[in-house]
Amino acid sequence: MIRTLDELTPEARAWAEAWLDRATAAAPPTLRADVRDDLIAHLCERLDAGAAVADVERVADAAGPIAGGPSTARRWLRQLLAGLGVHDVPGRIAATWWNPADERVLVPRAVGLGWDLNFGAVAVRLGVIEPDAETEPFASTPARAFATAAAVPAALAAAAVLHYAVRGRNLPDRLPAHWNAAGAPDRWTPKRRAAAADVAGTVVPAAVAAWAARSGRPGSERAGLIAGATLFASISATTTVARSLGDGRRAWLGPAMAASGPLAVGAVLVWLARAGRAEEIRRDLEKVHD
């Protein structure tokens, strides 16, 4: 075992450095250093100072395929993200936000500290869906249902773009950027900056949702991505509306902004879950007739 790669022979170290460069090439820039450190630790734990190039190559191969770099980088990146507690975020979001079998309305957050709303428990209490409606949530949801769900953030994006395209010239040069507890603006931003933020805040989530709907990822991950995209798009779209209301005080604004995102997300998740349940029933009936 060695403490740093500097303890290797020049030839072995050069090969290791080249391998590290290839292995981390596909990692996001913000995480590349952490992935590289993780890979270095893997090498140091399994090599000694007298290791030859062949020994370094053998240890590197044990980490996974290196051809082209990205496969190994993705493997180590997944491990790093798991260690940071953010591995499989879309799937964890779906499992947290939609768990009809769990009676708790508030559950530990999918990512970070705090609490999330279990829309599945709320739907059960409202009689919208049964607690055991699906064997595995969103596993049977058909592609057309995901496409329909992705249309929600797409519609919000279209509305935001249309709003600034039609009303942009008539809006004041500065728009509200923040509101106090009474619903009155207390901070301002230039109109162009507000428009750019609102359009990006809806268009980007809409693009993510559209990609998720067409991807071949598991149903839970697709549902999590679309639900998350819907939340962000709803917040941005509601902000767009709030900016256009002017300087007046509106006590209802805060509650409306707080409720808009969860209502949209809840509707999307209920739609996907019911579509999945309907598909399961259809398959069961086909088996009976066969």
Residue range 11-57, pLDDT digits in tens: 888 888 888 888 777 666 666 777 788 788 888 888 888 888 888 88
Q: Domain for residue 91, yes or no?
A: no
74 pLDDT higher than 80: no
Q: Are 65 and 163 members of one domain?
A: no
Q: Are 74 and 172 members of one domain?
A: no
Q: Are 65 and 155 members of one domain?
A: no
Q: What is the pTM of this model?
A: 0.69
Q: What is d(CA 283, CA 82) in angstroms, rounded to the nearest whole number?
A: 35
Report the number of distinct structural domains present in the chain. Answer: 2
Q: Are 183 and 264 members of one domain?
A: yes
Query: 84, 114, 135: which is the final residue of a domain?
Result: 84
Q: Domain for residue 257, yes or no?
A: yes
Domain that holds residue 64: 5-84
Q: Domain for residue 182, yes or no?
A: yes
Q: Domain for residue 272, yes or no?
A: yes
Q: Domain for residue 136, yes or no?
A: no
Q: Are 203 and 78 members of one domain?
A: no
Q: Domain for residue 37, yes or no?
A: yes
Q: Are 184 and 269 members of one domain?
A: yes
Query: 42, 65, 84: which is the final residue of a domain?
Result: 84
b/e map 7-33, b = 16+ CB within 10 Å: bbeeebbebbeebbebbbebbeeebee
Matching residue, tokens 């590289």: 36
Q: Are 149 and 285 members of one domain?
A: yes
Q: Are 58 and 189 members of one domain?
A: no
87 pLDDT higher than 50: no
% of residues, the chain, pLDDT over 90: 43
Q: Domain for residue 245, yes or no?
A: yes
Q: Are 55 and 148 members of one domain?
A: no
Q: Are 163 and 282 members of one domain?
A: yes
Query: 61, 84, 107: which is the final residue of a domain?
Result: 84
